[in-house]
Amino acid sequence: MTHLTPMSFVETDLDAMAAATGRIAVIVSPDGTLDQPARRANRLAKGAVARLVESDKFSKAKSGQVITLAWPAGMAAEALDILVLDKKADAVALRKAGVALAKVRGTSALTLWTGSRKGAEVIAQGMALRDYRFDDHKSAEADAPEAITIQCKDATAIEAAAAPLLAVAEGAHFTRDLVNEPANVLTTTEFAARLKEMESLGLDVEILEEDVLAELGMRTLLSVGQGSDSPSKVVVMQWRGGAAEDAPLALIGKGVVFDTGGISLKPAGGMEDMTMDMGGAGVVAGAMRALALRKAPANVVGLVGLVENMPSGNATRPGDVVTSMKGDTVEIINTDAEGRLVLADVLWYAQERFEPAAMIDLATLTGAIIIGLGHENAGVFSNNDTFCGDFLAAAAAEGEGAWRMPLGQAYDDQLKSRIADMKNVGGRPGGSITAAQFLQRFVKDDTPWIHLDIAGVASVKSDTAYAPKGATGWGVLALNRLVADQFESD
């Protein structure tokens, strides 16, 4: 798996600036104010920083932007990076500033002088989030990123403050690795094995195999994977960091390791992207990793349904009727609407076994949500205004786009079936909403619940705020924030 770039925090030593190799970075306020490290850099560079501040280029620069002076005179460094940053920058702005620094540094060693400025730990998290590559399947060995050093005031305290933030960054990297993996590598068995390895972090990880799933009555989940040679599984990850009497938050992820559409076969164009259809399970895994790494004082259980949706002589057919673990019957109109069949059984199982305080499911569920929200926001559906508001606040605090979508009886009525309790699709109108309505049928009335449709944000073809193109890790930061704000023991 991808490991975070080595990062160290040391007490400010301005005398080390002249001999520092690689890249050097200092911070300058948009009004041109130079702090002590910036003044030292200016003196070493024969006034180059002051001349930059007086230039039109600087006057047009925005907070969070990096301006580079190559091969500065009086320094051993290959570049002097000037980070323009407002003194009152909030956490999102600080994190994005770190991302900007990581982008310009490439793989070169970087030393950042933050002086007495607050928020160095958040800048560090931004650098860690952006400093990601997925080169596992390239034959040419890529250059490993060199270390990052942060020179700061009270380095011991900053390092301690950065530790939980870097744990979250590692969780996001874990999610990205899973989502980026090709399906011939990340089979259901391999996925489960990687989650089992997290027992070394203190998680209790349990793998439910097909015979157990059949005994439990998870027939809608099993119907999705029955056309594949890869066995369907449910993996349960428990983190018990809170009080024993506290009911857990349940995180539930769709883990379709590859989605051909089944008998309702997808078009060939773009089908290669369906390696990311396990994105919901990937986010749950990354969030659980982050919580374990930072020893969160909360009880959280992560459950992921791992299947592969393939066409074969044993595959589920359009028109088949299957019975869920809950006992409701489902007429399968379209085998490409498979994620909701996986989640339905896992949602019900989570409630029956754990009686959670609340539930959140995540899934790359519908193309319709991309039409509605593009790649900027995940779709948020909920049966509880307070719980939904808490999540939206957490997502906003972490700079992860999320937008609430409606639910309602008229949408639910689209799921009526002539021969079963419901259909698995409700037609093209409101496709992401009817998918959420399907899931809500498997949520008990007294359970606060959120459905996150992450089809547009899990993996994208251009850089995002925190990640290079490809898997984004969206959701790990927001879920971690929600747990920290709402579910941790005092």
What does the alpha-carbon distance between residue 485 and residue 391 come to, in Å, rounded to a whole number?
Answer: 10
* Mean local confidence (pLDDT), 339-357: 98
Whether residue 117 lies in the annotated active site? no
| Rg from Cα positions in the chain | 24
**Which listed residue (233, 289, 340, 423) is catalytic?**
340
Nearest CA to 203 out of 262, 139, 248 is that of 248
Measure the CA–CA gap between 460 and 470, rounded to whole angstroms: 5
Both tokens assigned to 75: 């320094």
**463-474 residue pLDDT tens:** 999 999 999 999
Give the pLDDT of residue 135. 86
Q: How far is CA 356 from the centre of its chain?
A: 22
Task: Judge contact between 406 and 431, C-beta under 8 A.
Answer: no
| Neighbouring residues of 211: CB distance < 8 A, sequence distance ≥ 6 | none
Could you confirm whether 353 is annotated as catalytic? no
Largest Cα separation within the chain, whole Å, is 82
pLDDT band at 2 (very low <50, low <70, confident <90, very high): confident
pLDDT band for position 223 (50/70/90)?
very high
Q: Are residues 229 and 258 in contact, defined by beta-carbon separation less than 8 angstroms?
A: no
Q: Are the C-beta atoms of residues 455 and 449 closer than 8 Å to each other? A: no
Catalytic residue selected from 103, 196, 266, 404:
266
Domains located in the chain, CATH noted:
7-154 (3.40.220.10), 169-486 (3.40.630.10)
**pLDDT tens sequence across 144-168:** 889 999 999 999 999 999 999 999 9
pLDDT of residue 107: 92
For residue 4, count other CB atoms closer than 10 A to its CB. 17
According to DSSP, the β-strands at 321-323 and 23-28 are unpaired
What would the two tokens of residue 387 be?
């719980």
Q: Which residues contact 484 (CB under 8 A, 6 or more apart)?
A: 296, 298
Question: What is the predicted pLDDT for the residue at 1?
Answer: 64
Mean pLDDT over each residue of the chain, to the nearest integer:
96
Nearest-angstrom CA–CA distance, 390 and 328: 31
